[in-house]
Chain A
Amino acid sequence: MSNYAVEFKNFHYAYNGGEVVLKDINVSVKEGSFTVLLGPSGAGKTTMCKAMAGIIPYYYGGRYAGSVEVLGEDTKGRRVSDIAMRLGLMLEDYESQLVSLTAGEEVSFSLLNHGFPPDEVEERMKKALEDVGLPGRENYQLDELSGGQRQRLLLASVLAVHPRVLVLDEPVSAMDPEGSVSLYKLLYKIHQKYNMTVIVVEHNLDYVLPYVTDMIVLQDGSVVASGSFEEAASIAYEDRELRRILPALWQVKLNLEKRDGIHLGMWRKTSDAISELKEKYGRAEL
């Protein structure tokens, strides 16, 4: 039995009539990890998320080679709806994934499509709404919910089928900083509570820094770094383009490590940096 939530093996992909956008991807995501997928625009992050859900190449079509395994099973030959029972995907344009009139119907829709019995649908729907901080809102019309709440609602719809892996493509791109922090807190809570593997595409790593365990860095359709966040960030730091998309705190840390030949700890918050700098240098300002 594989210990990987997702594993890409020599995976290549090209959209219909297009050039190859994912090039020989060999990477795995550990089960139970909180992995961030990082890379400049057009690097192939969204395509990779869709490949995990099986909609690439089997729904969109195109040309491919290699394989993608979800929890040890190849996505080839499996229906997208079957994969969705194990791996939940939330795309960036979350509004387009909402289809019902009320919050309760929205969460129930996916469950009913999967063939759950009505009693279980009701129970799971209520639990999922509770998990995302929308308890008792099942009769709310979608337009009565704020943008952030609608996003949580979609998250509830994905969570209701109890997937073991959750993939989110830029979940906070349309949210204000407070909403973004709050959504990531919620995701981390869910990740801890259910030991769920979370894979998230995020441009602003400051939001995920407190929670991230692993990182995959994509550039121009290829994986240039993967593994623990610390290892991958160190590799990415060596590239000028990628360095800029690392969290500011880590740019400082990696710069200091390189300059002074020292090893600093896992800085998740500014306070971690301050206390370590005080300890190492005797002051926080350099």
Chain B
Amino acid sequence: MKEEQVFKPEVELIEVPPAKDTHRWVAITALLLAIGVILHTISPNIGGVTPNWTIAMYSITISLTNPSFSQSLGIGFVAGLTLVPSSKSAFPLGNIASELTGAFVAALVVKSMMQMGLADFRFRPYLTGFLATMASGSVFTFILKLILNLPMHVYVYAMLPVVATVAVLNGFITQVLFAPAQKLFFIQGARKK
């Protein structure tokens, strides 16, 4: 039987990191947020709760592209803007503050998990979607509480449970859609960061 010999070069090889994508995150963000807006417009209630597609979409984007914090804030700002026109809340502009927070938290989760060596953790998208929605929803409802001058117990016992329910649903959506999105956008030369 022929023995397999591993070639050992006489010279020392120089290690080169793969080139970084500079604009892919913008394209992915634009596309996924557009899909989010469409789904936001047409999706029905599920047991009285509507999933927040926008948060799910930017959670996927941030999980896929691992943008910097400032880029993530940019994503959050644009996501918030897309929600303002169709918002039926008492303070539509609250979406901007809430999505800025949500996107920041998503980036924080992604970066922390990567630093902890959990980049390949199977439920990373779920966790990102869940925590981003919790953060975004908490900020949004807290702004509403302030504007409508609602008592604290309404916020804690009525609003936050709804936020948590949406967060569970959103985590699930993020998890389910993450793999197809990854396949779609990284079909050529898929590279982990």
Contacts and interface: CB of A to CB of B under 8 A. Distances in A.
Report whether over half of chain A's contact residues are helix, strand or loop; otherwise say mixed.
Answer: strand
B9 A62 contact: no
A44 to B, nearest CB: 11
Contact of B18 (A24, A59, A96): A59
B20 to A, nearest CB: 10
A42 interface: no
B46 interface: no
A10 B18 CA distance: 22
A60 B15 CA distance: 11
Contact of B9 (A12, A57, A59, A96): A12
Interface string B141-161: 000000000000000000000
Interface in B1-19: 6-7, 9-19
Interface residues of A, number: 20
Contacts of A14: 13
User: Which of A19, A61, A66, A221 has the most C-beta atoms of chain B within 10 angstroms of its own C-beta?
Assistant: A61
Given A12-B13, A14-B13, A96-B188, A61 B7 contact: no
Interface residues of B, number: 16
Contacts of A16: 18
Contacts of A64: 13-14, 16
A137 interface: no
A237 interface: no
Interface in B150-193: 188-189, 191
Contact of A60 (B7, B9, B11, B18): B18
B9 A65 contact: yes
A63 interface: yes
B163 to A, nearest CB: 42
Nearest to A80: B19
Contacts of B7: 19-20, 23, 221
A12 B11 contact: yes
A58 interface: yes
Contacts of A23: 7, 9
Contacts of A59: 18-19
Interface string B86-98: 0000000000000
Interface string A43-60: 000000000000001111
Given A60-B189, A96-B188, A20 B9 contact: yes
B134 to A, nearest CB: 36
Contacts of B191: 61
B14 A65 contact: yes
Contact of A24 (B9, B12, B14): B9
A63 B14 contact: yes
Contacts of B13: 12, 14, 20, 63-65
A95 B145 CA distance: 55
Given A63-B14, A64-B14, A96-B188, A58 B9 contact: no
Interface string A218-244: 000100000000000000000000000
Given A59-B18, A60-B18, A60-B189, A65 B6 contact: no
A10 B11 contact: yes
Given A10-B11, A23-B7, A24-B9, A62 B188 contact: no
A61 B21 CA distance: 13
Contacts of B18: 16, 59-62
Nearest to A96: B188
Interface in A10-43: 10, 12, 14, 16, 19-20, 23-24
A42 B74 CA distance: 44
A8 B15 CA distance: 18
Interface in A51-91: 57-66
Contacts of A60: 18-19, 189
B11 A57 contact: no
B19 A66 contact: no
Contacts of B19: 58-61
19 contacts: A12-B9, A12-B11, A19-B7, A20-B13, A23-B7, A24-B9, A24-B10, A58-B16, A61-B18, A61-B191, A62-B16, A62-B18, A63-B13, A63-B14, A63-B16, A64-B13, A65-B9, A66-B11, A221-B7
| A-B residue pairs, 6 tightest by C-beta | A61-B18, A63-B13, A65-B11, A57-B16, A59-B19, A12-B9
